[in-house]
Amino acid sequence: MERPSWAPEDIDLDRPSAARVYDYFLGGAHNFAVDRQLAEAIASMTPNIGDTMRANRSFLRRMVRYLIGEGVTQFLDLGSGIPTVGNVHEVAQQADPDARVVYVDVDPIAVSHSRAILADDPNTTAIQADVREVDRILADPETRRLLDLDRPVAVLLLGVLHFVPDSDDPAGLVARLRDAISPGSFVAQVNVTHEDQPPEVIEAQKLSGRTGTPIHLRSRAELLAQFAGMSLVEPGLVHIPLWRPDSPLDVDDRRERFGALAGVARKDAE
Ligand SMILES: C[S@@+](CC[C@H](N)C(=O)[O-])C[C@H]1O[C@@H](n2cnc3c(N)ncnc32)[C@H](O)[C@@H]1O
């Protein structure tokens, strides 16, 4: 197929990517036939998956507003994705025009698009890095330019740690981030779970192996361990729509329909 102008030279157009599959589910335009085919295959097995992804974006908006209300104006968004409606800096800067956001993603299209839309905003930036490269991300001159780690910061890990296998120790990775941020900082996470999920979800998850970044479904206990040493704020680790919903009407009866758990934790003073 022909390479669109927004696709960097070095990406493989024949292999689906997690960022572009997600973009397709959210109604974005930065995906290829190979991504759409995989998304449709996953959706045919788990028709609710699009709802989960949209619920994740709603959580993002509620969570950023909550954190601004807690006085946090600096955000480190790891695995930030291809920009779509309601990005972190848009939600944050609506509440506080001086809010600062560093976006990080491993996907070159996510990063090039982020840079394009952020070009005129000196309070935001986008870095291409793997979330496992914690030290490099924290030491990056752009991170240092925008974020003062001696003051509270919000580290966002939404839909990204389930791409990190157990062998790379996702809980240890969060612990390294926790140790690098100051008391009063927060860590927000959304991760997929296999608990309460029907067998077809487990089967659909296997399709993610086609992207080269397979998804790892985890138990609630494993996901709680990814918040070790911090205090989960109310209502704790819950199915996405249950996290501080704007309206009781937003909460679906069958919450397990949303196969992902959301939580926000504060790093307390030692
Ligand atoms: C499901 S999207 C989530 C996007 C956004 N955080 C959200 O919640 O709407 C997952 C993103 O994580 C990125 N990603 C996957 N593995 C990663 C890794 N090891 N390091 C950094 N980003 C990664 C993908 O490229 C993709 O953009």
CATH number at residue 54: 3.40.50.150
Residue position matching structure tokens 């870095």: 127
Tell which one of 77, 160, 240 to mutate to probe ligand 1, the residue whose CB is within 8 A of the most ligand atoms.
160
What distances in angstroms separate CA 101 from CA 14, 122, 127, 237, one per listed residue?
32, 10, 11, 24
Range of the domain at 218: 48-266
In a domain, 6, yes or no: no
pLDDT digits (tens, 9 = 90+) for 186-233: 999 999 999 988 888 888 888 887 887 889 999 999 999 999 999 999
Residue 42 lies in a domain: no
Q: Which helix (H) or strand (E) holds 157?
A: strand 154-158
Q: Evaluate whether residue 217 is within a structural domain.
A: yes
Say how many domains are in the chain: 1
Among the listed residues 71, 80, 190, the one whose alpha carbon sits nearest the alpha carbon of residue 124: 80
With 80 as the cut, is the pLDDT of residue 252 above it? Answer: no
Give the residue whose CA is nearest to atom 27 of ligand 1: 81
Please answer whether residues 182 and 151 qualify as being in contact, where contact means their C-beta atoms are separated by less than 8 angstroms.
yes
CA of 243 to the centre of ligand 1 (A): 21
Any atom of ligand 1 within 6 Å of the Cβ of 211: no
Distances (CA, A) of 175 to 44, 126, 206: 37, 23, 28
Residue 41 included in any domain: no
From the number of C-beta atoms within 10 Å of its C-beta (0-12, 13-18, 19+), residue 209 rates as: exposed
CB 213 less than 6 A from any atom of ligand 1: yes
Name the pTM for this structure: 0.94
* pLDDT above 70 as % of the chain: 97
The Cα–Cα gap between 21 and 35 comes to 5
Cβ of residue 56 lying under 6 Å from some atom of ligand 1: yes
Residue 33 and residue 7 in contact, taking contact as beta carbons nearer than 8 Å = no
28 assigned to some structural domain: no
Asked if residue 214 has a cis previous peptide bond (ω within 30° of 0), the answer is no
Query: From CA 66, how far away is CA 69, in angstroms rounded?
Result: 5
Q: Is 204 helix (H, G, I), strand (E, B) or coil?
A: helix
Q: Using alpha carbons only, what angle is made at residue 49 by residues 21 and 218, rounded to the nearest 5 degrees?
A: 95
Q: What is the mean pLDDT of residues 18-31?
A: 91
* 195 in a structural domain: yes
Does 39 map to a domain?
no
Q: Is the residue at 254 inside a domain?
A: yes
Q: Are 151 and 74 in contact (CB under 8 A)?
A: yes
pLDDT band, very low/low/confident/very high, at 253 (cuts 50, 70, 90):
low
Q: In the prediction, which pLDDT does 250 show?
A: 73
| Coil/strand/helix, residue 189 | strand
pLDDT band at 1 (very low <50, low <70, confident <90, very high): low
